[in-house]
Amino acid sequence: MTPEEMEARIVRYGDLMPCKTAFIDAHTPGSDSKENFTIIGGGVSESPDQHVHIAETPGFNIGAAGQPPKCRNSLHSHRTAEVFYVHKGRWRFFWGRHGTAGEVTLEEGDIFNIPTGIFRGFENIGTDYGMIMAILGGDDAGGGVIWAPQVIQDATDHGLVLAETGRLYDTKKGEALPDGVNPMPLLTEDELKNYPEVPVDEVVPYYIGRYHDMAALAANKPADIISEDGLIRDKPGFEVEFITRGSLSGPQGGNGRHHVLMIHEGHWRLSWDGSEKTLAPGDCCAVPPGVSYQLDPSMTGTCSLFRVIDTDDPAGPTATDLN
């Protein structure tokens, strides 16, 4: 693989292209200043304006959400995994039909594998612009977002209509649903019974990894964070490792799997076949199967990254029977 080919598989944090109209709550007060990014795969954006940096998916999608202080993302659910790690800032995650079943605060470097089948939202409660990086299960990220009924109703009041096809239409721009296309139907009361109100003690101990705990586990080898036997036990169609300065020795990759490197801290030197690239905080690199590579910190200081690897497990609901 040439340096140019590898560079095409790196999405630089400074080159991320946001979409401010990605979802149905883009005009709703309190949610109207968020930015969404699709880094690998098309994600679950409902807007044709969303820029996709790398279209090819390795069995999962990588995205991000950037929000100023006090901006929130509205309550929604997914059919496949939605894993967030906090890259910048301080965030409150909340869940339940009205967001009142439970909540937890995450700091930089923390990771949250939010169980499927519950409504969830998140809010930047820090003092600066924050960024959370996301891993979504499946090549099609579960086929889209399932919104709490009140989110769709509020959006309609502010000019955005979601079609049953999953496409978003902005009536403020003169857009309208095409002939023969109906609005996305609201979940009925019977359907809403399938979205449980899960208490905090059934979520926080099992689905959250704290930065300092993961760093301790990764002192001498990559820490197994999300897998069948990991710190967070699940089989979402991918595995997540946490890597620090002391975690790696010898070549990596070359095992027929996709490796996506998500740099959290520090600068890392990626070397392969006599070539090298430097990866900086916020960068994402999709190393293809069969490429043997070496990772080394390129300078002193704290260094950490998340590595996501595809598996043969199908994308689907959270494997609650593992906990």
d(CA 287, CA 96): 37
Model pLDDT, residue 323: 63
Distance CA 148, CA 78 (A): 11
What's residue 252's pLDDT? 82
Positions of the chain with pLDDT lower than 70, given as ranges = 321, 323
Q: What is the amino acid identity at position 132?
A: I
Cβ contact 133:233 at 8 Å: no
Q: What pLDDT, on the 0 to 100 scale, is given for residue 49?
A: 82
* β-strands 72-77, 146-147 pairing: antiparallel
Domain(s) labelled CATH 2.60.120.10 in the chain stretch across 14-207, 210-322
Residue 310: partners with Cβ closer than 8 Å, 6 or more residues away:
58, 59, 60, 237, 238, 257, 258
Nearest-angstrom CA–CA distance, 151 and 74: 7
Task: Return the amino acid letter for 8.
Answer: A
Token output for 57: 């998916």
- Residues in Cβ contact with 222 at an 8 Å cutoff, skipping those fewer than 6 apart: 241, 242, 243, 247, 248, 307
Residues 210-322: name the CATH superfamily.
Jelly Rolls (2.60.120.10)
Per-residue tokens: 131: 């960024």
pTM: 0.94
Give the Cα separation of 123 and 67 in Å (integer): 8
Q: What is the pLDDT of residue 193?
A: 94
> Which of the 8 DSSP states describes residue 19?
B
Could you write out the DSSP letters of every residue in 280-297? Answer: -TT-EEEEPTT-EEEEEE
CATH architecture assigned to 14-207: Sandwich (2.60)
